[in-house]
Structure 1
């Protein structure tokens, strides 16, 4: 199974063709419009036929899109007002948590803090799971007096036997990533690694391949690059 996560930068209906060149079985897309709204593009309607979505704005949310024939159902995990998390069951085989970390108007727990709080509610349920998406975070931005830094989230996931597939395959530490996934204002000199795929170790052991999209191609469509994993 191939899973791809990508912050499309909006207007996914205009980018379905390029997205499908990834040939993923499941797509996790940030900043996409809500399926079922009156968009005239029939290709987008077809792409959305097997999907889940969450968001505050109809034109900018978080979606999971699966190929026909893949069983996709939403899990009943409350988000407790945190933004944005979309838990699903895939083929009654494993769980998937799609993520798009927001500041969420929180004076304290913005971005990675949103995931930290989400884990406090649900990490005990996370077995045989993949977590993927745009976290807007990197260990480089840890703050010395904060207990929910990026490093703290990674450590808490590790204690639950959940690891970052990028760092596992590249054999590098968090914060040392040579391959960015985000280019601020599409500027090559302002590049950061802020998109991730984590997985339970039993899934990580079946990882075949991990790729990041080519920047010359994908920066024509968004300020993020897609991150793709293939798992037996």
Structure 2
């Protein structure tokens, strides 16, 4: 291919690539620490840009963190969308949810690690937003749970309690998958089998709740 035929990269494309490089660098740095201790200099150094250039893309580190949080919540919601297609048979739903969780966790490990850590991360803007977003997500899940025959008569607050329990279990399973060493089909299968049993136990308890 000749040099003349190579399409030049636009300014907007370069800006988007740099923005994504900053997000990727932040996620990489967050593999072993909470967002609160992450510095702008560390992020820009890994992204290979000067620190002052950061502000062309984000007004603050908190804004960068909130964008990462939005990405993580988008992953969760796409996972929920996939699970919705499995109908209302509890065994089928439990299997689909766990299988989908495995697929999304392996594809988005850094986002799940970030979300799991930040929900317990203290009083900063990002941890507070993480808890708020997870409450909203649990509310969406509660609406879905009301589709099941055994849950139709439940009060909204009880559905929310059940949804919170399920979300906590799913995030714990995602973190267990990430932290299990080595990553291999056998270890993954053990984690997933336990997760499916937990979901079925939750469902069984819910079916007999009074």
State whether TM-score is above 0.5: no
Q: Scaled by the length of structure 1, what TM-score is found?
A: 0.25
Q: Scaled by the length of structure 2, what TM-score is found?
A: 0.27
Structure with greater proportional helix content: 2
Larger radius of gyration: 2
